[in-house]
Amino acid sequence: MLSLPRVPWEGGPAYWKQFPAADAAGWSSPDFFPIVAWYNGISSDDEAQYDKALGINTYIGMDASTPYSLFADNGMYWIGPALNDTFTSGSKNWVGAFLDDEVDGRYTPEEGRAHLRELSLAARRDGRFSYANFTQSVLSKDMNPADAEAYLNDFTDVVSVDMYWYTVPFCSAVPYRENYLVAIPQNGCRSSASYGTALTMLRERDAADGRLQPLWQFVEDLNGGPGDQPFTANITPAQLQGAVMSSLIGEARGIVYFNQSLSGPCQGGSILRLSQVEQDFCGAGQASAVGRIDALIKQLAPVLNTQSFAYSFGPNLRTMLKVSGDSVYIFSMIGAGTSAGQRSFQLPAGVTGRTVEVVNENRAIPVGADGAFSDSFGSEADFHVYRVRL
């Protein structure tokens, strides 16, 4: 094992054991990683299996007529209220309670806290974990720190923030104004790095009470811009995968796909479903990208579900270091605001392998006698995952 400090974490698979519903459903397995579709209706086994083939394993938001059997028969999970009387206290695939969305943007702090307190008390009586999503306001210095920390610490067992850096008008605003806990300059706002930076800020808020919980990250699978504002862009397939990887490097413990597109030339209420049923769908490339990055997450779930080591591989890099079995794994992207190109990596002491396997790229890189190797990144959204023997 490496002689390095560890990053703080909430406990990985063991975290879910404290919630009887999630534990019974298998969420405490090292092989499980939550990948969530936000509002993606299923009306048949065929639809559920299509989503499953894309890597989705959990849903939030569904028509009230959806029978519980569609979740149970297809090995999918539900976070939310009982949709109808087919949901019972013994519904094994009903794992969590979704408290509410963006309460911080719809209530005063006092009203929002009272609202969440009532919902969370009801949820915890059922042995399910409580989850809520907030706006990026809780990461901003514009919100009173005590209010932001109360939202993120007092009511939930899992928490996230939605901010769609690639596709919202915010990053193009003139004049540009941001007031975040970690600065995001305008020239680097539309980048995969911003998704990872958001996780860094969210962890800062979450850690204020000394109790950590899993942080999930929203990524748009097409467009995250509000329908009442000017269209900016759709996320590209490469950007989508980069945003997810940046989130993982930022220690995200789950990915939530914003599955609607409300502005621009390619719109829909369920992007993943449209990719299934509509020939030549304009978002087909993004749906395929969801499948590719989710397959990588599933492949590496036992690695992702271990506690990371704190280590810097070199300048102009964003990395995450983990150990699984007899190997170290390095998840890597270029540093925020830096140019694409060649990067040099210095392996930590204790890693003796002299060949770096680049996961799923069918290539290997030699390691020098000094423990250094280098590789190239073609864009800000590029990433590589390396495996090196200890």
Encode pLDDT of 247-301 as tens digits. Answer: 999 999 999 999 999 999 999 999 999 999 999 999 999 999 999 999 999 999 9
pLDDT at 127: 87
Does residue 126 have a pLDDT over 90?
no
Average pLDDT over residues 363-379: 98
Which of 23-32, 115-124, 188-197 shows the lowest per-residue confidence on average (mean pLDDT)?
115-124
DSSP-derived pairing of the beta strands 35-38 and 372-377? unpaired
Average pLDDT over residues 157-186: 97
Threshold 0.85, pTM exceeds? yes
Token pair of 271 as six digits: 């992007």
Strand partners, 238: none
Q: Crossing angle of helices 192-206/237-249, nearest 10°?
A: 30
pLDDT at 314: 97
Average pLDDT over residues 139-165: 97
SS3 assignment for 291-347: HHHHHHHHHHHHHHCCCCECCCCCCCEEEEEEEECCEEEEEEEECCCCCCEEEEEEC
Please report which confidence band the pLDDT of residue 227 belongs to, taking 50, 70 and 90 as the band edges. Answer: confident
Average pLDDT over residues 171-186: 96
Strand partners, 77: 58
Encode pLDDT of 100-113 as tens digits. Answer: 999 999 999 999 99
Which of 6-20, 111-125, 374-388 shows the lowest per-residue confidence on average (mean pLDDT)?
111-125
In whole angstroms, what is the distance from residue 261 CA to residue 168 CA? 11
Residue for token digits 């949901």? 87
Q: Is the CA virtual torsion 243, 244, 250, 252 positive or negative?
A: positive
Instruction: Give the strands of the sheet with 355-358, arranged side by side.
Output: 317-324, 327-334, 384-389, 355-358, 363-366
Does residue 122 have a pLDDT over 90?
no
Average pLDDT over residues 38-59: 97
pLDDT at 108: 96
pLDDT at 27: 98
Q: Who contacts 263 (Cβ-Cβ below 8 Å, separation ≥6)?
A: 223, 225, 226, 227, 229, 230, 231
Average pLDDT over residues 50-74: 98
Please report which confidence band the pLDDT of residue 124 belongs to, taking 50, 70 and 90 as the band edges. Answer: confident
Average pLDDT over residues 304-310: 98
pLDDT at 356: 98
SS3 372: strand
In whole angstroms, what is the distance from residue 131 CA to residue 126 CA? 14
pLDDT at 182: 97
Encode pLDDT of 323-340 as tens digits. Answer: 999 999 999 999 999 999
For a pLDDT cut of 70, what percent of the chain falls above it?
100
